[in-house]
Amino acid sequence: MKLQTYNNCVFCGSKKMKIIKNQSFEHNFYTLAIKNDFNLKDNFFSKMKVYNCQKCYIIQNNPWFSFDDTFKIFNEIYGQHNRNWNNVLKFFKKGELPNHGDLFSLLNKIIQIKKYAEFNSPFMGLMLNFFYEDHKNNNKIFFEKIFSSALNYLFIRQQAGLSKNQIKKNTKLAKEYFITLNNLKQKKKKNSPKIFKTLIVDNSHLSWLYNDNYKSVNSRSLASGLFDIKVKNFNKNEKRVLYDLFGIFHTLDHTHQPKIILDYALKNSKFVIVYCHVDNELEKQHLFSLSDKFITYLKNQNIKVLNLTDKINKNYNSPEQYFLCSKNHKLPKL
C-alpha cells in the first residue's frame, strides 16, 4: 500500500494548489474498511492533506492512494456502488424514482431530448426516468416482474461448475426468463417517443467496475439487458455523435480524466447536466471533489452555465449541486 503524490490539480493540471488550514481527520465507514483491509495505521490517512486548486477551485487530497491501489478500493473493498443499486431497488420494488427533484421534467421542458448519453454508473442519473416514461402505463407487478426476469436471466447463465442436469435445467429457465423479459419490454406506452440512449463508460480505476454487482449481476449488464440502450467505451477521438443532452451524475469525481470527459461531453452534446458533491471537506476515500466555485471556473472558460440546484424542488441531505452547461447553445432563463 503506497501513497502517491498528486501535486498538480487532477482536473485542470494547475500547480497552484493551496493547502486548506486547520485540517482534522475522522474515519467514516469507507476509510475504516480501507484501513482494515489494507492493514493501515491512522497516520497513513492523516498524511493526506486537502488542497484547493486556485484555477478551477476543485479540492484534492495529496498525497493519496497510488493508482494501482485505487482499483482495489473501488473493485474489491467497495466494489458495489451502494447508491447506484439502491436507486434500482427502490424503483423496481417501491416505484420510487431516484431523487433528482423535478430535474427530469424541467430538462424535458427546456430541451428536446432525442439523443441522450450518460457517463459511467447507469442508475445514478436519468436512465430510470426514461424507462419509466416508456412503461408508465403498467402496474406495480409489471415493474417487479421485468426486473426479476432481467436479473434472473443474467444470474442463471452463470453455470460454471454445475452438473449436467443443473445446466440443462438452468438453460431451460434462462430461455423462459429471456422470453418473459422481451415480452414485457414491448409493453410500452402508446406513441412513446423513440429516444436514442447511450451509456458511455471509461473504465477508470476510480470508478465502480467489475464488482458493481447485485446478486452476482453487474450494473452495466443489467442496464444493457433491461433498458433500450447502447453501452459504449469512451473514446475521445470517435466519430462525432451530437447528443441533445449528456448526463454526468456523481461520476465526474470518479474518473482519472475528468477534464477530458467534461470536454468530450461539451463537444459532443448540445447540453451537459452535471450533478456533483460540493462539500468543503473532502473525505479520504475520494481523490478530489468539485466545489461550488467550479461554475465560476467554467464561466471563465467561456462555457455557459445555469445552476439548477435551487430550481428543481429538491431537499438535499448533503451539499450537492446540479448545473446545466453548454459550449455553443444558449441556455434558457428560468
Contact window for Zn ion (CB under 5 A) among 4-12, 185-193, 287-295, 320-328: 4-12
Residue 60 CB, shortest distance to Zn ion, in Å, is: 8
Considering the complex, state which of residue 11 and residue 44 has its C-beta at the smaller distance from Zn ion: 11
Nearest residue (CB) to Zn ion, 59 versus 150? 59
Q: How far is the CB of 46 from Zn ion (least distance, A)?
A: 24
Amino acid letter, residue 280: N
The CB-of-61 to Zn ion minimum distance in angstroms stands at 14
98 upstream amide cis, omega within 30 of 0: no
Count of helix runs (H) and strand runs (E) in the chain: 11, 15
Q: Which is nearer to Zn ion, 11 or 123 (by Cβ)?
A: 11
CB of 280 to Zn ion, least distance (A): 16
Q: Which of residues 56-95 bind Zn ion (CB under 5 A)?
A: 56
Which residues neighbour 127 within 8 Å (Cβ) at sequence distance 6 or greater?
118, 197, 199, 223, 227, 229
Q: Which is nearer to Zn ion, 128 or 265 (CB)?
A: 265
Tell me if 331 sits within 8 A of 304, measured CB to CB. Answer: yes
Task: Select 63 or 79, whichever has its Cβ closest to Zn ion.
Answer: 63
Peptide bond into 319 cis (omega under 30): no
Residue 70: which of 1, 10, 6, 122 has the closest Cα?
1
CB 71 within 8 A of CB 207: no
Q: Which three cell numbers stand for residue 96?
A: 420510487
Nine cell digits for residue 27: 474515519
Distance CA 11, CA 8 (A): 9
The pattern of x and - marking residues 126 through 165 that bind Zn ion according to CB under 5 A reads: ----------------------------------------
Identify the DSSP state of 13.
Answer: -
The least distance separating Zn ion from the CB of residue 292, rounded to whole angstroms, comes to: 15
- SS3 of residue 310 by DSSP: coil
User: Which C-beta is closer to Zn ion: that of 9 or that of 308?
Assistant: 9
Region 208-227 residues binding Zn ion, contact defined as CB under 5 A: none
CB 144 within 8 A of CB 95: no
The alpha carbon dihedral of 224, 243, 119, 283 has a sign of negative
Binding mask 6-45 for Zn ion (x = CB under 5 A): ---x-xx-x-------------------------------
Query: Residue 289 in contact with residue 277, Cβ under 8 Å?
Result: yes
Q: How far is the CB of 290 from Zn ion (least distance, A)?
A: 10
Per-residue contact flags (x/-) with Zn ion for residues 39 to 58, judged by CB under 5 A? --------------x-xx--
Within its chain, how far is the Cα of 288 from the centroid? 15
Containing H/E element for 296?
A: helix 294-300
Given the complex with Zn ion, which of 11 and 178 has the nearer CB atom?
11
| 207: β partners | none
Subset of 160-189 contacting Zn ion (CB under 5 A) = none
Residue 54 CB, nearest approach to Zn ion (Å): 8
Q: Is the Cβ of residue 52 or residue 84 nearer to Zn ion in the bound state?
A: 52
Residue 94 near residue 223 (C-beta atoms within 8 A): no
Interface segment toward Zn ion; rule CB under 5 A; list 2-10, 97-105, 124-132, 234-242: 2-10
Task: Dig out the grid coordinates for 119 from the structure.
Answer: 457517463
In the bound complex, what is the minimum distance in angstroms from residue 305's beta carbon to Zn ion?
16
What nine digits make up the cell of 174? 434462462
Query: Between 182 and 301, whose beta carbon lies closer to Zn ion?
Result: 301
Q: To the nearest whole angstrom, how small is the minimum distance from the Cβ of residue 117 to Zn ion?
A: 25
Choices 5-13, 36-44, 154-162, 174-182 (CB under 5 A): range interacting with Zn ion: 5-13
Q: Which residues bind Zn ion (CB under 5 A)?
A: 9, 11-12, 14, 53, 55-56
